A and B are shown apart, each in its own frame.
Chain A
Amino acid sequence: MSSSTTKSVFWKGAREGAPFIVVAAPFAMLFGLVATEAGLNVAEVMGFSVLVIAGAAQFAALHLMQENAPTIVVLATALAVNLRMAMYSASLTPHLGEAGLWQRALVAYFNVDQSYAMAMIEYEKNPKRPVADKVTYFLGVVAPVAATWYAFTLAGALLGSRIPGDIGLDFALPITFLALVGPMLKTLPHVLAAGTSVAVALLFASLPYGSGLLLAGFAAMAVGAEAERRLS
């Protein structure tokens, strides 16, 4: 593998990950702002975004810290919010399992919703690519997202000014997730799995700590796999 191909695979990933900047920027800025107002200093705010790098879990932890919840509750809740990533990790393994330990560790650190979903769509489109290319593509996708996450957390922490009100910015995150769903609906089993996921997630939305989503994930994987087995 020549270095020029590595470069081009990385840039393909970076180009395809770039649209997520629009979502990551306001979300990160909001975290920086809210965390600063809650009394964290800039180093602590950045500690969260660099070491944890998981938006929903960071907000959950911050919220509980503001309420002076016991440390164990803060940790358990925020980690529960991240449990879906164990499923992401499992489904990346058939594609990236052959990569070296350090590369797998790097991918694990950067395994966020956007990079995971984009990479899986690409891997399923081109399953025969060398594992080195798959790792490079993953890192390419996440590069603009992660850079935005760090930079705009810092901006939010330093500026401390208000983000403009209701211009529908809250909906940037749902729109990007929905855009990722479209290309995943390849076959009838995929459509059935997506439908199950939505139905179960809504039904159990009131369960604490994102456990409704985990139930939805297991149910939808079972439906998809069973439908595939019967139809093939």
Chain B
Amino acid sequence: MNFTAGHIWLIIALLGIGTFLIRFSFLGLIGNRKMPPWVLRHLRYTPVALIPGLVAPLVLWPTATGGQPDASRLAAAAVTIIVGWYTKNIIAAVLAGAATLAFAFWIT
């Protein structure tokens, strides 16, 4: 790459500041001011609106297989969701998913 050291540090600094400002945005500006009920109702669904969408393409089109759907990874994903939903236990879900993937890699 053709970047000077000063240029690289400029990018790092601006990216650091920008990322912080994105993360601070609402927490910093709104603070303890009350938000209207309809906004709060939407915000209650933020985690479940973003995390599934973040992970879905990674499950269906894994980078490691060049974007081809892969039975082992799909099985591991299904087991992780089901165990997590049934037990509400995150660690149990991770372990069950990892074990499924290990088993699927071993039999294929």
Contact = CB atoms under 8 A, between A and B. Distances in A.
Interface of A: 16, 19, 22, 38-40, 44, 47-48, 51-54, 57, 61, 65-66, 68, 71, 74-75, 78-79, 82-94, 96-98, 101, 104-105, 107-109, 111, 113, 116-118, 120-121, 124, 166-168, 170-185, 189-190, 193-198, 200-202, 205, 212-213, 216-225, 228-229
Contacts of A38: 1
Contacts of B16: 47, 51-52
Contact of B55 (A51, A75, A181, A221): A181
Contact of A107 (B27, B30, B90, B101): B27
A221 B49 contact: yes
A98 B27 CA distance: 9
Interface string B23-43: 111111011110100101111
Nearest to A173: B58
B49 A196 contact: yes
A142 B68 CA distance: 33
Interface of B: 1-3, 5, 7-16, 18-20, 22-28, 30-33, 35, 38, 40-64, 72-73, 76-77, 80-91, 93-94, 97-98, 101-102, 105
Given A174-B77, A179-B90, A198-B53, A71 B7 contact: yes
Contacts of A47: 9, 12, 16
A interface, over-half SS: helix
B interface, over-half SS: helix
A183 B88 contact: yes
A20 to B, nearest CB: 9
Contact of A166 (B26, B28, B64, B86): B64
A78 B23 contact: no
Nearest to A124: B44
B103 to A, nearest CB: 11
A208 to B, nearest CB: 14
Contacts of B89: 183
Given A52-B12, A182-B93, A221-B46, A89 B84 contact: no
B53 A200 contact: yes
A85 B90 contact: no
Contacts of B97: 175, 178-179
Contacts of B72: 168
A38 B105 CA distance: 32
Contact of A220 (B25, B48, B76, B94): B48
B13 to A, nearest CB: 7
Contacts of A79: 15, 18-19, 22
Contacts of A116: 47
A61 B11 contact: yes
